[in-house]
Amino acid sequence: MTLDGRHVLVTGAARGLGAVLARVLADAGARLVLADIAEEEGRAVAADVGGHFLPVDLADPASIDALGQAVAAHTGGVLHGLVNNGAIATNVGGKTFEEIEIETWDRVMGVNVRGTWLMVRAMAPLLRASGSGRIVNVASDTAIWGAPKLLSYVASKGAVISMTRSLARELGPDSVGVTAIAPGILTTPSTDYVPEARHRHYADGRAVPGPHAPEEVADTVAFLLGGGALSLTGQVLPVNKGFVFG
């Protein structure tokens, strides 16, 4: 797989899967723009992979609009790939649907759903200008199998899956492909908060038993950002080593 010369923006790139994505996509030749609210960590990742860092707050529409302008200035008005990886995933589980605070629900939806929509809106002109734009939305297999006591996150990722399908139809005439991946729990520092029992549940339940490294997911994303993936537009790929099937 090669992404030589293709400008790719990755949100949520400061840690976890996002940082791994940055390394794998850089190795594939992508010209990376990395965005995150965690500036210090994000700049460190960008320095490691030779990318360009820009700050963004996915909860703030003005910040997303400013990112769009900054990306356009940096890339010359063209963007070949957008990976919507930024999301709230930690400290939102462990409560029943009756116990979730409205503030938590609104915060998760504001970042994971509205933030994804606004990122696509801001970057769509740049993706269209490339003539071969690709969007990869990072969802979650929790939205496929229905993880309990995680409703705000599960609902937000279900919305991302639905948006992927509608966006594929709206952007398809401009040769912009839109896909979603639905990984399970990965072995990264960002999932240290997940109870060990949940990790074991995933490891034992996969068709290929054992842990799932983020590099394996990143390889799939690299393929989806390439020219040969347009025929997969609108599809949701459960990239989880067979924990659930699509």
Active-site positions? 153
Q: Which residues contact 66 (CB under 8 A, 6 or more apart)?
A: 56
Distance of CA 110 to the CA centre of its chain: 15
d(CA 8, CA 80): 6
DSSP letter at 3 equals -
| Paired tokens of 191 | 């999932």
Cα radius of gyration rounded to whole Å, the chain: 17
d(CA 37, CA 124): 21
Return the amino acid letter for 167.
Answer: L
Q: State the chain's maximal CA–CA distance in angstroms.
A: 49
Question: With contact defined as beta carbons under 8 Å apart, do 229 and 176 qualify?
Answer: no
d(CA 156, CA 86): 12
